[in-house]
Amino acid sequence: MGTRKKVHAFVRVKPTDDFAHEMIRYGDDKRSIDIHLKKDIRRGVVNNQQTDWSFKLDGVLHDASQDLVYETVAKDVVSQALDGYNGTIMCYGQTGAGKTYTMMGATENYKHRGILPRALQQVFRMIEERPTHAITVRISYLEIYNESLFDLLSTLPYVGPSVTPMTIVENPQGVFVKGLSVHLTSQEEDAFSLLFEGETNRIIASHTMNKNSSRSHCIFTIYLEAHSRTLSEEKYITSKINLVDLAGSERLGKSGSEGQVLKEATYINKSLSFLEQAIIALGDQKRDHIPFRQCKLTHALKDSLGGNCNMVLVTNIYGEAAQLEETLSSLRFASRMKLVTTEPAINEKYDAERMVKNLEKELALLKQELAIHDSLTNRTFVTYDPMDEIQIAEINSQVRRYLEGTLDEIDIISLRQIKEVFSQFRVVLSQQEQEVESTLRRKYTLIDRNDLVAISAIQKAGLVDVDGHLVGEPEGQNFGLGVAPFSTKPGKKAKPKKTFKEPLSSLARKEGASSPVNGKDLDYVSTSKTQLVPSSKDGDVKDMLSRDRETSSIEPLPSDSPKEELRPIRPDTPPSKPVAFEEFKNEQGSEINRIFKENKSILNERRKRASETTQHINAIKREIDVTKEALNFQKSLREKQGKYENKGLMIIDEEEFLLILKLKDLKKQYRSEYQDLRDLRAEIQYCQHLVDQCRHRLLMEFDIWYNESFVIPEDMQMALKPGGSIRPGMVPVNRIVSLGEDDQDKFSQLQQRVLPEGPDSISFYNAKVKIEQKHNYLKTTMGLQQAHRK
């Protein structure tokens, strides 16, 4: 386990024009805050009222931007989450103090986004920086409203409302909410879409202190799972980040809540009171019991409060004198939270599939070591591999010879061979039983006493008397099937010579069948000298029985009426886009998908050649550098020894001359290879352009097909003229019923205005626009349905 550490507590002061400078002062280190109250003179001369308080925290954020808040509070928690540590960031404070703004920010402005959107961006940025690991991201969004659990992402078409109420469940791995949907997301834009979808489903209300007051506690959880791309690595790490936006505590006298808002405020204050009790208990080292189960909020946050987690609290307060009493209450809560300690540790797990593969490799190595050991001890005939068919056949032959008496003993080699010997004993015994039964079937006809069909057929043939006894049955013996010879006189009992008992089987079985028979279900046959049935009679009886049984088992066959080709039924909820995309690539988009794969393979081949050429160029460059150093050394050596000239020409030795020739050849190769590399880069650029075009075409065709197949209602498709200039897919879904509003143009203008200031905001605004389009479409559809009903 990791070392224990205290919870980090920060205070963020809401900006205001009426800041109480005389009552609220900050320390020089920006880590303390002092509160001063004037004494109430109405209490008289003896007045023991406390007037000064001082709170030591991890940071005071006054007039701080959203960037500074995230860097100070959340960046380290999110960064450590990708290393396997759980993290929780909680916003607490009075209603209207800025908790939701700190956590979510203003979604209309990218710069004012809060901790939650920034955390999602940081997670995906860090994933891109870790190419050695395959990291999956999952998301859930839980709301606790009036002590009831709700899934804020249940409105998605592929989720739907839960039939059973959600419950909080504990197991050895921790606390989780049963029934809460968890969504896999691989892109930053998809994560933002889930966030905005959940935000639109939150419950808010208005009162005198806050026009958009959150009436519920919300927990947005990011689940991370990181696997190494190295196949031999069987360990992987998991973690989760809980981002908690608590509903604000409120004084009913100030908020003026009534009716439903009053009921909500009661539940909110009650749950926050239980949360404070749990924090006080966690801060007391002598307490054994922590009251986590008093409310749903503390129960859901059991892992985060004092567990295996990096915990950070952001306390939002007012800076006005009128709210000083609530500010003191919030600061006391932050001070109590600083007394709580957590024990963060890396969550390591093991991949069972990779463990099996590693164990198989280790087993193969151990077998090789055993083989070496056996060869050194002259035991080369011992094998540790599973026996093949030839070895099993040899053991079967040894067992048969041992039973026949031609083999005195079977040599024992290994434990695997001993087990196989016993197995072959069982096989040989079963085969002998089947051979005996097959021999008896060729001579006698066996019937089951419970087989009514067979007995009825025998009675028709005159082989059974009125009492149900077979003709020729001796007294005191079990009945047997036989025809009494004509020489037998009535009343004269034939003396049986020998009696052989065998389990009966059904006559419907084919003659010569060798499967074993259960003796409990069948009766026994008694044969004597006068009860032997000729083989021809056996055949007649069997034929008659088989015909009778076939007649009784014939059922009318259904008529082969031609099947009408059914029209494909449209599903109630559209499939997820990844699933639909795979179907599209295999069917309607197979041709363009094939072209895309071919272009991509050509691009990869060019890139591979460019990489090899670059490596070759680098090798030539290194060789040129080595040759230059050697040539410079030869020149310096020649200068030290003195210059030799002949008729005005410099004379050099043979070694220096060879180095000059070598350097010349290397430079020639370098220029040639560099030219090839330039050509390859031009080809790569062109191939990349083709791949991008194919990808864009494939995605565009998929969007059109998906909208036509699953999104656009059938009644709207029927409304579009089949031969007209407008067809489904050409018009965006949100504009089918509202062609006058051009959201795409607005979005393009927004991109042009915002992107130069925030290049990373594209996924943020894409998700926001998609959610707005979806809700506009749903509102329009509902309006059409209501108008149709009227």
Pairing of β 310-317 and β 8-13: parallel
Rounded to an integer, the average pLDDT of 402-421 is: 84
Number of other CB atoms surrounding residue 495 within 10 Å = 8
Taking the CA of residue 254 as centre, how many other CA atoms within 13 Å lie in the half-sphere pointing to its CB?
13
Tokens of residue 399, six digits: 């067992």
pLDDT at 260 over 60: yes
Phi-psi region of 68 (alpha: psi -120 to 50; beta: other; left: phi over 0): alpha
* d(C-alpha 193, C-alpha 117), whole Å: 11
* d(C-alpha 232, C-alpha 358), whole Å: 7
Task: Report DSSP state, residue 470.
Answer: B
- pLDDT tens digits, residue range 295-333? 889 899 888 887 788 999 999 998 888 888 888 889 999
- 375 beta partners: none
Contact call for residues 112 and 158 (beta carbons, < 8 A)? no
- pLDDT tens digits, residue range 359-400? 888 888 888 887 787 777 776 666 667 788 888 888 888 888
The tokens 């509102």 sit on which residue? 779
* d(C-alpha 89, C-alpha 8), whole Å: 10
* d(C-alpha 737, C-alpha 110), whole Å: 30
* d(C-alpha 392, C-alpha 341), whole Å: 65
Backbone angles phi and psi of 726, in degrees to 5? -110, 130
Contact call for residues 52 and 36 (beta carbons, < 8 A)? yes
608 class by beta-carbon count within 10 Å (0-12 exposed, 13-18 middle, 19+ buried): exposed
Cα angle: 472, vertex 473, 475; to 5 degrees: 130
Annotated binding residues for ATP, written as ranges, equal 93-100
* d(C-alpha 563, C-alpha 614), whole Å: 64
Q: In this structure, which amino acid lies at residue 234?
A: E
What is the residue-averaged pLDDT of the chain?
76
SS3 173: coil
Pairing of β 310-317 and β 87-93: parallel
* d(C-alpha 50, C-alpha 403), whole Å: 104
CATH superfamily of the domain spanning 5-39+49-350: Kinesin motor domain (3.40.850.10)
Backbone angles phi and psi of 731, in degrees to 5? -105, 135
Q: Give me Rg for the CA atoms of the chain.
A: 44
Architecture of the domain defined by 574-712: Orthogonal Bundle (1.10)
How is the chain split into domains, by residue range? Answer: 5-39+49-350, 386-443, 574-712
* d(C-alpha 270, C-alpha 249), whole Å: 9
Q: What integer pLDDT is reported at residue 658 of this predicted model?
A: 86
Q: How confident is the model at residue 248 (pLDDT cuts 50, 70, 90)?
A: confident
Note if the pTM is more than 0.85.
Answer: no
Annotated binding residues, written as ranges, equal 93-100
Tokens of residue 764, six digits: 């943020």
* d(C-alpha 389, C-alpha 407), whole Å: 21
Q: What integer pLDDT is reported at residue 313 of this predicted model?
A: 93
* d(C-alpha 758, C-alpha 752), whole Å: 11
- pLDDT tens digits, residue range 157-196? 777 666 778 899 988 778 889 888 999 998 888 899 899 8
Contact call for residues 312 and 74 (beta carbons, < 8 A)? yes
- pLDDT tens digits, residue range 14-62? 888 888 888 888 888 888 899 888 776 666 666 666 778 889 999 999 8
Q: What integer pLDDT is reported at residue 737 of this predicted model?
A: 40
pLDDT at 73 over 60: yes
DSSP H helical ranges for 148-300: 188-200, 252-255, 260-283, 296-300
Pairing of β 235-245 and β 87-93: parallel
Tokens of residue 630, six digits: 């050697």
- pLDDT tens digits, residue range 446-500? 666 677 767 777 666 666 555 555 554 444 444 444 444 444 444 444 444 333 3
Strands, E, within 38-86: which ranges?
52-56, 59-62
Pairing of β 8-13 and β 59-62: parallel
718 class by beta-carbon count within 10 Å (0-12 exposed, 13-18 middle, 19+ buried): exposed
* d(C-alpha 598, C-alpha 495), whole Å: 90
Share of the chain above pLDDT 70, in %: 72
DSSP H helical ranges for 444-570: 452-460, 535-552
**Which H or E run includes 223?**
strand 217-228
Contact call for residues 304 and 81 (beta carbons, < 8 A)? no
**Which H or E run includes 462?**
none
Number of other CB atoms surrounding residue 102 within 10 Å = 27
List the single range of 120-129, 154-163, 289-298 with lowest mean pLDDT: 154-163
Q: What integer pLDDT is reported at residue 23 of this predicted model?
A: 85
